[in-house]
Amino acid sequence: MDDEVLRQLLDRAASTRPCPGGGIILAATPLGTALDASVRFIDALGSADVVAAEDTRRTRALADNLGVEITGKIVSNFDHNEGERAAGLVERAASGARILVVTDAGMPSVSDPGFPLVQAAQAAGVPVTCLPGPSAVPTALALSGIGVGHFAFDGFAPRKDGDRRRWLERLRTERRAVAFFESPHRLQRTLETAVEVLGPDREAAVCRELTKVHEEIRRDSLAGLVAWADAGGTDGAGIRGEITVVVSAAPEAGPADPADLVAEVEERTTGGERLKDACKAVGREHGVPNRELYEAVLAARS
């Protein structure tokens, strides 16, 4: 793209800037490659009245990389101060200021700062909009090689062992692929627990350093990924960088064996339910024909 084309695109972005009368603008920032920044983001970064940044140093560095001069005031807006910061930013937006909210990488309020500000702005009737762009979640899902027609995003995996195990237990029967973030030093333990809870054959993918020079997608069974992590990753030097994990949906269970449901039917009949009614109820719950279940009960009684 030559300079003239870029100038024309920036002129078009300037003519359609969001929240011209003041408001909150959430903007996705590049995961690693600065050139993934959208033209609208480049324009907003240079024209916003206030830039609320998770890390002001990283935002200034990104602006320098993109050749953008931040003309507005830049303030910090991170996990430990965003709750206190929200009211002031909303007040400024209500007075006509355009507040650009950015995080270190990806989309604000998606496991990143931004959510309290969105809530406060909506409660105050202040406009909130979004400049879409890079996000690790859809990028990992697309590259994982795992069927993701339906998926769930669970943020960061729980840090404590007990909480992590209980979380994984809920995924045993999850019929959607699940994406989550994990840190390099906890990845192996999380994968090991996943093998114990979900089974060694469940497919998964570890997506590391997305869009960066050392991007890597490792797809395997959970057991295979544990072995890979135990060996120190692909180069044996340890697993580094930002990580998104995708776990495949739970496999569909086949139809139940009528013989395995006899005890459930007998429990109902012991409670006073007629045999045919009990077979109908249990069969409907497990997808087994009433007649087959009735015959299985009679066979077990003989």
What is the tens place of the pLDDT at every residue in 103-122?
999 999 998 999 999 999 99
* pLDDT tens digits, one per residue of 224-278: 999 999 999 999 999 999 999 999 999 876 677 899 899 999 999 999 999 999 9
Q: What percentage of the chain has pLDDT greater than the value 90? A: 88
Average pLDDT over residues 117-141: 96
The answer to whether 265 and 282 are in contact (CB under 8 A) is: yes
177-182 β-sheet, strand order: 151-156, 177-182, 243-247, 203-208, 216-221
pLDDT above 80 (res 132): yes
Q: What is the mean pLDDT of the chain?
A: 94
Nearest to 262 by CA among 285, 278, 241, 242: 278
Name the one residue in this structure whose structure tokens are 């390099």: 184
200 alpha-carbon distance from chain centroid? 23
Query: Which pLDDT band, with edges at 50, 70 and 90, does 3 fall under?
Result: confident
Q: What's the pTM value of the predicted model, to 2 decimals?
A: 0.79
pLDDT above 90 (res 283): no
Q: How far is CA 144 from CA 9, 137, 161, 202, 207, in A?
A: 33, 11, 26, 14, 7
User: So what's the pLDDT on residue 278?
Assistant: 92
In sequence order, the β-bridge partners of residue 180 are 245
User: So what's the pLDDT on residue 117?
Assistant: 97
Average pLDDT over residues 152-161: 96
User: So what's the pLDDT on residue 294?
Assistant: 92
Name the one residue in this structure whose structure tokens are 């979380």: 167
Amino acid at 26: L
